[in-house]
Amino acid sequence: MAFELPELPYDYEALQPYMSKETLEYHHDKHHKAYVDNGNKLAAEAGMDKLSVEEVVKQSFGKNAGLFNNAAQHYNHIHFWKWMKKGGGGNKLPGALQKAVDSDLGGYDKFKSDFIAAGTTQFGSGWAWVSVKDGKLAISKTPNGENPLVHGASPILGVDVWEHSYYIDYRNARPKYLEAFVDSLINWDHVLELYEKAK
Ligand SMILES: [Fe+2]
């Protein structure tokens, strides 16, 4: 299946003041588009252009770095746009998710500080995650385009900590960006949808 750049699920202004129109224009229209274009070219060269993005990610990991990086970043960004919404974030989680956060991650406050710590301590580019592994939630971080799919887990929430995600709005203040993401941007409905599928 050829990779396609999805439309943003909201206006370019929708996430202001936490994420600017300019950031979304560069991040979606240029960075994500480049992953799609390069991923399609490299998937065709590798004979993997009929596979789903998840399959390309899993099958190229550790074998074809160029294809893996682009396909994984395509997968990560498809969800990243949906992991945010206008008026999102905060500690009002859907019931089933609240229960899992309480039992597996030590409650909302601990989730928040551990998730922000994972993103802050990821050296260089990468992602911080909440994923489901063996039926339980776990927080992790990965470098570059890598994601929990290649570690036998199902990501249900991820935040992009590449500088292209925050440098226009926050300069070098990655923790401030992560705090805004958790407090004001997370679309818990999309997290719940992925959690229900992963369980
Ligand atoms: Fe990104």
Collapsing DSSP to helix, strand or coil, 156 comes out as strand
Collapsing DSSP to helix, strand or coil, 48 comes out as coil
Distance 108 CA to ligand 1 centre (A): 25
In total, how many domains does the chain have? 2
Mean per-residue pLDDT for 147-152?
97
Q: Domain range for residue 58? A: 21-82
Cα 129 to Cα 156: distance, rounded to the nearest angstrom: 8
CATH number of the domain residue 44 falls in? 1.10.287.990
Burial pattern 155-164, b for ≥16 Cβ within 10 A else e, equals bbbbbbbbee
Is residue 131 assigned to a domain?
yes
Per-residue model confidence as pLDDT tens digits over 104-146 = 999 999 999 999 999 999 999 999 999 999 999 999 999 999 9
Per-residue model confidence as pLDDT tens digits over 157-167 = 999 999 999 99
Closest CA to 170 of 13, 12, 9, 17: 17
CATH number of the domain residue 110 falls in? 3.55.40.20
The confidence band for 199, taking pLDDT boundaries of 50, 70 and 90, is confident
Distance 77 CA to ligand 1 centre (A): 6
Distance 5 CA to ligand 1 centre (A): 13
Q: pTM for this one?
A: 0.97
CB 116 within 8 A of CB 185: no
Q: Which two tokens stand for residue 183?
A: 């407090």
Distance 164 CA to ligand 1 centre (A): 6
Is residue 179 assigned to a domain?
yes
Q: Inform me whether the pLDDT recorded for 172 exceeds 90.
A: yes
Is residue 11 assigned to a domain?
no
In the chain the beta strands, taken as DSSP E runs, fall at 126-133, 136-143, 154-160
Distance 43 CA to ligand 1 centre (A): 20
Do 105 and 186 sit in the same domain of this protein?
Answer: yes
Do 67 and 104 sit in the same domain of this protein?
Answer: no
Is residue 151 assigned to a domain?
yes
Q: Inform me whether the pLDDT recorded for 1 exceeds 90.
A: no
Is residue 10 assigned to a domain?
no
Is residue 146 assigned to a domain?
yes
Residue that terminates a domain, selected from 58, 82, 106: 82
The confidence band for 150, taking pLDDT boundaries of 50, 70 and 90, is very high
Distance 129 CA to ligand 1 centre (A): 14
